[in-house]
Amino acid sequence: MSTRLSFIVPVYKPNLDIFCKCVKSLCDQSLKEWDAVFVLDGPCDEAEKIIKAEMKKKKHNTYKIVVQDHAGAQRARNYGQEFATGDFVVHFDADCIIEPDTAKTWVEQFDKHSDVDFIYSGYKFLDEKGAIDSEHFDPYLLRVRNYISSCFPIRRSKMPKWNESLKSLQDWDFWLSAVENGAKGKYLKGYAFSTAYPDAGSISGQGCTNANWLERIDAVKKDHNLPERDICVSSLTNKIEGIALAKTLGADYQDYPNWKPHRYKTIIQLGFSFLPNRIADHISIFSDNEVAKVIFWTCDDITEIVSRLNYMAIKKYTILLNGMVNLVQCVEDKAAYDIMQAVGFNVVIRPLPMPEQPLVPLPEKPRFAVDIDSTYSAMFNTISQSLPDVELVPLTGALSLADFSGICHFHPDRTTSSNMKRALMMGRHVVSNVQAPFAGYVDDGKDFSELIPSIVEKIREQAYGPHQTAGRDYYSKITDPKGVK
């Protein structure tokens, strides 16, 4: 029988009950072409008995038990690599319980995606103590912080050795080394296994204390030549945009910059929501008075303030934010400035930095992305019927503005959005109720009988035009990240 997948399991003074469940869960895998290498980090008769008993029950004979003098989990994992025979290798932990179809799913994904070198997802804690999800694969983000557990499979050809000198954060070091070897990862949604919650004596527990955090993260950064950055971006409501902003500024990205000690001098928050389930998290990001702080208010934030908050709530938050030390609050344009000033927030006009956008050919048939508030939906259904030669497509996260001739942007706040700027920077056309430079403005204060023909006329006017190069030049200049830095 061929071996597709090898589990390497270091074992040292295990919780025997959990370890028994660990071995049993391996035996219960729906994938049959696997082997296991149990590396006893020092002799352990009880563990050896459990392995043999569970394997015998399932009549699974493709396993090895090897013993080394106690030298730690990393030495055990490296030693186990010498005995593993699978096409893919998983460095599994003795306190983890794998889901029955996980190994089969992994192998199927490897077979389906020949360009993928390792696969990972989230995992749960035993006794319903929560779960940890992961991130879509992004080498930039991995160079900022780890988001991949050690207990996931990698192609043998891209598998690095474990750094035996590190006291913690070994999984981060391992995956950084893999990516530096040219490995590409793939994120699978869901939870692959359950594990014991870290205690004070575990590697994770010891490595995650505030007292030694910077020292241990510095050790990994030094080995991989990772930069020490002064700026960190956070965005709990616009994460994709937040990561893009961090890359543009040459900054780090963290959901919660203050969750561990850091050396950041400036924290930038993209978006700031006052909804009850978000406000505490957003305020906590700015808890350090010694750090310079920046808020980039988005058009969604402004809509929320105008349409969802009562007067007393707005007054409370204006006092809170306006009184913060070292805080600058930024908005995109004069319309946003006037709204925020009117309700009491001290803001300045500073357009959000954006990376340079590619200038790609316009589609042969005119296509406009529709980015509108729900209050405009019925109107755009009528507009679509009036433009049989122009395709109007609702803008979703799966679509790229490069596939369109332009964008229709209608929202009640009437302030410039990132999508509008991005479209103009790509040489696309914009039809909107926002009075923004180089956008096709339509006053939506009219009756529908006048408004609909006005929008139809404006879309048709721009649908067959060439690239909007003037708008591209203008927004590329005012959104240059050098100004913000």
Q: Give the pLDDT confidence of 49-73 residue by residue, as tens digits.
A: 999 999 998 877 789 999 999 999 9
Report, as ranges of residue numbers, the positions in the chain whose pLDDT lies below 50: none
Strand, coil or helix: what is 76?
A: helix
- Strand-strand pairing, 88-91 and 153-155: antiparallel
Angle formed at CA 458 by CA 452 and CA 459, multiple of 5 degrees = 90
| pLDDT of amino acid 199 | 67
pLDDT at 206: 58
Strand (E) or helix (H) holding 408? strand 406-410
Count of residues for the chain? 485
CA distance 335 to 139: 38
Confidence (pLDDT) at 271:
93
Beta bridge partners of 371: 409
Q: Closest Cα to residue 432, out of 339, 419, 479?
A: 419
DSSP percent split of the chain into helix, strand, coil, nearest 5: 40, 20, 40
**Model pLDDT, residue 207:** 58
Helix (H, G, I), strand (E, B), or coil: what is residue 31? coil
Domains and CATH numbers, the chain: 5-221 (3.90.550.10), 231-349 (3.40.50), 367-476 (3.40.50)
pLDDT given for residue 201 in this prediction: 57
Distance CA 73, CA 149 (A): 14
pLDDT tens per residue, range 226-237? 999 999 999 998
What pTM did the predictor assign? Answer: 0.88
Q: CA Rg, the chain, in Å?
A: 27
387 burial (CB, 10 Å; 0-12 / 13-18 / 19+) is middle
Cα(330)–Cα(478) distance, integer angstroms: 14
Q: Which residue spans within 22-140 are E strands per DSSP?
A: 34-41, 63-68, 88-91, 96-98, 118-125, 131-132
Tracing tokens 């920077």 back to the chain, one arrives at 425
Task: Please name the amino acid found at residue 278.
Answer: R
d(CA 172, CA 369): 40
Q: Are 185 and 154 in contact (CB under 8 A)?
A: no
Tokens of 335: 């319309």
